[in-house]
């Protein structure tokens, strides 16, 4: 009788010891795993996506301009580089068509310099295995200095490009800079027959970030806080496109 009680106690102790040893292994492992997971950013709808950003113009090609100092190519590059960081932070891989003040034409080739520059951007996009393509520009309109605000263009026959354009436009329509000066800038996404949209294979958009012909846009587009907000809202539009296409209208 006493012997069997001892055996039971011994067995119980053994069981506790086994459980304690297993826990001793698992608890530190779980802790290390949790701290590791903290260091790796959580997955987002952009994780693993490949995105080409094309800051329009560059080098000898200033794009549009206001006076001698406000050049479209500079604004495009600044916004493009901020956008690159914003999109990378969401876990996407970004390819830039340019990251400095250069044009992409090869002078040795035949044909116009402008066309060669566009061809190089198209080639880079079509060989990058990209999920989407974003070209960044700034606008100018003669005889309508009151027209303002960002406008997003897509190539007509691509349903996905249309969805992407509408999603980005929807986000850009909420830019805070206009409200602060007591005005509004709201547009719909537009069809645009641009080489860069027509000849690139992935769904893509051309974002005209504002009008250099408009005084409010000119001031805003040179402000870093406004450039940051544009990049943030484009990224928000991309996330909506990949995650909730049904919310786009
Ligand atoms: Zn342009």
Nearest alpha-carbon partner for 185 in 227, 216, 218 = 216
The first and second tokens of residue 107, run together, are 């002078």
Tens of pLDDT, residues 134-176: 999 999 999 999 999 999 999 988 999 999 999 999 999 999 9
Measured in Å, residue 62 CA sits from the centre of ligand 1 at 8
Q: Of 124, 65, 67, 71, whose CA–CA distance to 94 is shortest?
A: 124
End-to-end CA distance of the chain: 81
Contact predicate 175/233, CB 8 Å = yes
Q: How much of the chain, in percent, has pLDDT values that exceed 90?
A: 74
Task: Write the pLDDT tens digit of every residue in 106-138.
Answer: 665 566 888 999 999 999 999 999 999 999 999
pTM of the model: 0.81
Residue 138 C-alpha to ligand 1 middle, in angstroms? 6
Who's near 70: CB < 8 A, 6+ residues apart? 212, 218, 222
Q: Which CATH class is domain 50-247?
A: alpha beta
How far away, in angstroms, is 65 Cα from ligand 1 center?
A: 10
% of the chain at pLDDT higher than 70: 81
């Amino acid at each position: 009788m006493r012997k069997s009680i001892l055996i039971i106690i011994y067995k119980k102790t053994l069981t506790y010891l086994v459980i304690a040893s297993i826990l001793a292994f698992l608890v530190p492992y779980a802790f290390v795993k949790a701290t590791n997971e903290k260091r790796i950013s959580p997955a987002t709808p952009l994780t693993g996506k490949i995105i080409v950003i094309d800051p329009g113009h560059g080098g000898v090609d200033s794009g549009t301009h206001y006076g001698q100092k406000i050049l479209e190519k500079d604004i495009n590059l600044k916004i493009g580089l901020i956008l690159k960081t914003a999109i990378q932070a969401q876990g996407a891989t970004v390819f830039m068509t340019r990251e400095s003040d250069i044009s992409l034409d090869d002078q040795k080739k035949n044909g116009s310099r402008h066309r060669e520059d566009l061809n190089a951007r198209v080639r880079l996009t079509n060989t990058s295995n990209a999920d989407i393509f974003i070209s960044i520009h700034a606008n100018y309109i003669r005889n309508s200095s009151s027209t303002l605000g960002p406008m997003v263009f897509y190539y007509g026959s691509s349903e996905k490009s249309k969805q992407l354009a509408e999603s980005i436009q929807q986000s850009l329509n909420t830019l805070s800079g206009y409200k602060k000066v007591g005005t509004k800038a709201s547009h719909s996404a537009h069809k645009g027959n641009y080489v860069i949209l027509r000849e690139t294979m992935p769904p893509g958009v051309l974002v005209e970030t504002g009008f250099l012909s408009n005084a409010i846009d000119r001031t805003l587009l040179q402000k870093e806080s406004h450039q940051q907000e544009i990049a943030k809202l484009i990224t928000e539009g991309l996330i909506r496109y990949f995650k909730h296409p049904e919310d786009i209208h």
